[in-house]
Chains A and B, each alone.
Chain A
């Protein structure tokens, strides 16, 4: 069994309105050292796979096909065994 920890974020070139709103809230709380806030999604997917390589390939497919919209989002994931 493998567990994929998937992080999906808006591409750097895409404006993140939620991130900006949170940045302003941090400013107003005095955290004026903050340069940028980007908000994304975190997903955990557990799956069966014959090998680590197979699991990686399947998770990549899931991200490309459904979990991320690659027009506006980037994704990365960590894979944990067991």
Chain B
């Protein structure tokens, strides 16, 4: 399996993501792909890391969405390849229209950086098959614009299609319906604000994020 970590100007969780993939996914090749590069066809899974792409100018993710590599990310997503966006990566997926909705400033207006309990709302996705349904996991957040919003119609669709994958136990940012992570309708694109790549060693305070990387590899192997 080949994994790509996309690096935008301003990405700062790219190395964390790279290391988490390398540590948690045995036998996997992982490479950085620069935002202006191409050649994603050879990759099986694409990771959009956290950070502040293009300085979050205009809106988080708004400019990154038009980076040259994004056309290939959209194409890969449409082909059914796995695409996972964390934090700023989630914001980019929303701006690109690969996932529905938009991000607002946190309700409390504060940048929030702490371990947050989440519940796994759907364990039948390529990203969560190693968790129990309803399992409580501890994953850190670090964001100022993680207040997920969508209209009523979209929310209804998200619920009906089981696209809500993670919910906050104690909503830290005002997200609608406590949403922390969603997939697209097909389930091959995941966006989440909490950082699983920062929770892969007990030394870091939690290893609950490991399950996501293990799930991806298990899905890919078709076990």
- Please count the residue pairs between chain A and chain B whose beta carbons lie under 8 angstroms apart in the complex: 37
Residues of A within 8 A of B1 (CB): none
In the complex, per-residue mask of B93-118: 1 if CB is within 8 Å of any chain A CB, else 0? 01100001110111111000000000
Interface-side segment among A11-19, A26-34, A49-57, A74-82: A11-19
Most buried by A among B107, B149, B174: B149
Nearest-Cβ distance from residue A45 to partner chain B, whole angstroms: 12
Give CA–CA (A67, B63) in the complex, Å.
Answer: 10
Task: Count chain B residues whose beta carbon lies closer than 8 angstroms to a beta carbon of A.
Answer: 21
In the complex, per-residue mask of A56-82: 1 if CB is within 8 Å of any chain B CB, else 0? 000000000011010110000000000
> Is residue A21 contacting chain B, with contact meaning CB distance below 8 A?
yes
Most buried by B among A13, A15, A21: A15
Residues of B within 8 A of A72 (CB): 102, 104, 149
In the complex, per-residue mask of A3-46: 1 if CB is within 8 Å of any chain B CB, else 0? 00000001001110110010000000000000000000000000
Nearest residue (CB) in B for A67 is B58
Task: Count chain A residues whose beta carbon lies closer than 8 angstroms to a beta carbon of B.
Answer: 12
Residues of A within 8 A of B62 (CB): 66, 69
B109 near A18 with CB under 8 A, answer yes
Q: Which 10 A-B pairs have the closest CB atoms?
A: A71-B102, A72-B102, A17-B105, A69-B102, A17-B107, A17-B109, A21-B109, A72-B149, A69-B59, A18-B105
- 30 A–B pairs (Cβ distance < 8 Å), ordered by A: A10-B104, A13-B151, A14-B149, A15-B104, A15-B107, A15-B174, A17-B104, A17-B106, A17-B108, A17-B109, A17-B147, A17-B174, A18-B105, A66-B58, A66-B62, A66-B63, A66-B66, A67-B58, A69-B59, A69-B62, A69-B95, A69-B102, A71-B94, A71-B101, A71-B102, A71-B150, A71-B151, A72-B102, A72-B104, A72-B149
User: What 10 additional pairs, Cβ within 8 angstroms, besides A17-B105, A18-B109?
Assistant: A10-B104, A14-B104, A17-B109, A17-B174, A18-B105, A66-B62, A69-B62, A71-B94, A71-B149, A72-B102
